[in-house]
Amino acid sequence: MKNTSKKGLFQPELVRAALWQSVVKLDPRQMFRNPVMFTVEVGTAIMLVVTLLSMNPAADTATLGHPGYNFVVFVLLLLTVLFANFAEAFAEARGKAQAESLRKTRKDTPARKLGADGNVTLVSSSLLRRGDRFVCEAGDIIPTDGEITEGLATIDESAITGESAPVIREAGGDKSSVTGGTKVLSDRIVVQVSVQPGESFLDKMIALVEGASRQKTPNEIALTILLAGFTIVFVIVCVTLKPFADYANTPISIAAYVSLFVCLIPTTIGGLLSAIGIAGMDRALRANVITKSGKAVETAGDLDVLLLDKTGTITIGNRKATHFYPSAGIKESEFIRYAVLSSLADETPEGKSIVELAGKEATQGLSVDGARLIKFSAETRSSGVDMSDGARIRKGAFDAIRNLAAKAGNPLPPATETQVSDIAKQGGTPLVVALNEKVVGVIELQDIIKPGIRERFERLRRMGVKTVMVTGDNPLTAKYIANVAGVDDFIAEAKPEDKMNYIRAEQEQGKLVAMMGDGTNDAPALAQADVGVAMNSGTQAAKEAGNMVDLDNDPTKLIEIVEIGKQLLMTRGTLTTFSIANDVAKYFAIVPALFMTAIPALQHLNIMRLASPESAILSAVIFNALIIPALIPLALKGVAYKPIGASALLRRNLFIYGLGGVVVPFVGIKLIDLLVAMVF
């Protein structure tokens, strides 16, 4: 999907679709959802009636005006509505184009369903239900979403992510999830279906991209109410002008009243508001992030705290065992044997690296017949084995094994504590091995901090976002990595509930918190966070709990999401500022023009020195119509964001869009007036 962003903004086929939808959206039932533009449509309808009535030779020209002039005003108001509709329709068309490309990926794929008796039957993917199992081999298209229960495979996810590089998915751990429509390139896997028909990730993705699931965000609703309030105020303003005009003995035509009303209400932001919201979600999608709601994108722009796992985010991940340090009196060969046995049930990359470091010689001849393997878990932060001869071997985090030994009345050797401290100070991760609750040695794991990560955290800091590293490492190791990486805070020896507790504590202080995760144990924290970003490779529970899904499985994507959110909020805010600032110039264009004849002193307010009342009104209406399509590219692309601090951004945008919103209409209306004066 990334390649879509390389195409030009205004693709001909999208423009054609949007032009037709602009006309379809004239339906008052659709227009009513946008109070500002609905009133403009009402004004357009009034001008159509006035134009027809003014064609009657007996019509009151003082009130109804000249039919040619009325018709021009009617056309301009109709164009204003159509331009606003086009902005929304074009934003929607871009989403629908992406949805169409995704539909080509979604096919009724044959699936090899695995029965309870082990027999395989060929069925349609539409017949698969949650809980069913199917088999996929090299060359097969995965028929629907699921979790790998057996095997390991290389999978091409380019149909979903746009990335051609294959990925590895395997049973167990946090990278067991597969998506329907992707292709198996090698090996054989057994997958358990995790969704019902029509509820697959691809189905949901299509609905979101199309805009079918889009709802107005709280900020968008609040702004809509504010704009509706402005509209009501200007209705009252225009109504009160009537008795004032009668008192001044100045007849004002209906066209002038309607034009004044349309020009003073915030039509610019009213016409672009929906397009800005749709474009925000579209930008997130082009960053390969699926957002379940526009609210999530908005919230990302206001984030205060960012929780990041150390492994795979700050560090390269897949920590590897580098050294074995047996305790005094323990042979190295024996210690390595204990380390390997305790890692046999550890499916984490760290556990596998211990077996690799030990080598084939150390692992040959090892037998676990009759033994009970204990898998690694985030809760116990340890793994191990209970041998048939009664020996209990455990390997895990320092504090977990220390507590285990302490309960059995076996104090830690001082040398072990020193060794653990030394490893931690060097940024390594110590794992302690115990035999029958007695410490027999330490394993050193090393990880590498990602290049450039410190600069990225500095960028977030300039945005006003606090970064918190979450790790299962001991405090010394965590502190070392936190200092090198440049994060603001860290949570060491973290358990799943620690993430949840930290999020709640920050939220109780009124802060907005984001978190990224991929495992089932991350699901509660992802659901609790204001912005929860799940990895596409993660478990189904994680993807359901989060309100965003990162298709690239890039843990640092949160930084980009924050920028997209801030860009959305800035775009809406700056264009609202620009729209309201426009009213100043249009006020000085129309109001003096209405009363200059009766009240010559108002000529001083005609600072643009417009040619006549008629040309002044027309010039303002023409500018009001043209500014909407002129700002469509900005609404779709978004205002450029720079991490220079909130105050600096506010000053910058007020100068550009506040002052610019006043100056541009003065210049534009004057130039249009010079052209209009040649005709009227």
> Residues with catalytic annotation?
309
Q: Assign residue 122 a region: left if phi > 0, alpha if psi is -120 to 50, beta otherwise? A: beta
Cα distance between residue 339 and residue 349, in whole Å: 15
Strand 146-156 versus strand 188-193 pairing type: antiparallel
φ, ψ of residue 584 in degrees (nearest 5): -60, -50
Query: Is the CB of residue 312 less than 8 Å from the CB of residue 472?
Result: no
Q: How far apart are the first and last CA of the chain?
A: 52
Classify residue 8 by burial, with Cβ atoms within 10 Å: 0-12, 13-18, 19+: exposed
DSSP H helical segments within 134-181, as ranges? Answer: 158-161
Classify residue 623 by burial, with Cβ atoms within 10 Å: 0-12, 13-18, 19+: buried
Place of tokens 């990895």: 535
DSSP H helical segments within 124-253, as ranges? Answer: 158-161, 201-210, 218-247
Expressed in percent and rounded to 5, the helix, strand and coil fractions of the chain are 55, 15, 30
Element (H, E) at 153: strand 146-156
Element (H, E) at 185: strand 183-186
Please enumerate in sequence order all residues whose Cβ is within 8 A of that of 648, keeping only pairs 6 or more positions apart, or say none.
none
Query: Is the CB of residue 444 less than 8 Å from the CB of residue 428?
Result: yes
Classify residue 281 by burial, with Cβ atoms within 10 Å: 0-12, 13-18, 19+: buried
Please enumerate in sequence order all residues whose Cβ is within 8 A of that of 554, keeping only pairs 6 or more positions apart, or say none.
none
Please enumerate in sequence order all residues whose Cβ is within 8 A of that of 429, keeping only pairs 6 or more positions apart, or say none.
319, 350, 423, 444, 445, 446, 447, 473, 474, 477
Query: Is the CB of residue 3 less than 8 Å from the CB of residue 162?
Result: yes
In single-letter form, the type of residue at position 76 comes to L
Please enumerate in sequence order all residues whose Cβ is within 8 A of that of 455, keeping only pairs 6 or more positions apart, or say none.
none
Alpha-carbon distance values, 2 to 94, 169, 178, 284, 300 (Å): 13, 22, 20, 11, 21
Classify residue 370 by burial, with Cβ atoms within 10 Å: 0-12, 13-18, 19+: exposed
Place of tokens 């455990």: 394
Rounded to 5°, angle at Cα 92 from 91 and 93: 90
Q: Assign residue 374 a region: left if phi > 0, alpha if psi is -120 to 50, beta otherwise? A: beta
Cα distance between residue 591 and residue 613, in whole Å: 9
Query: Is the CB of residue 121 less than 8 Å from the CB of residue 99?
Result: no
Rounded to 5°, angle at Cα 75 from 74 and 77: 65
Cα distance between residue 177 and residue 222, in whole Å: 39
Provide the β-strand partners of residue 153.
169
φ, ψ of residue 282 in degrees (nearest 5): -65, -40
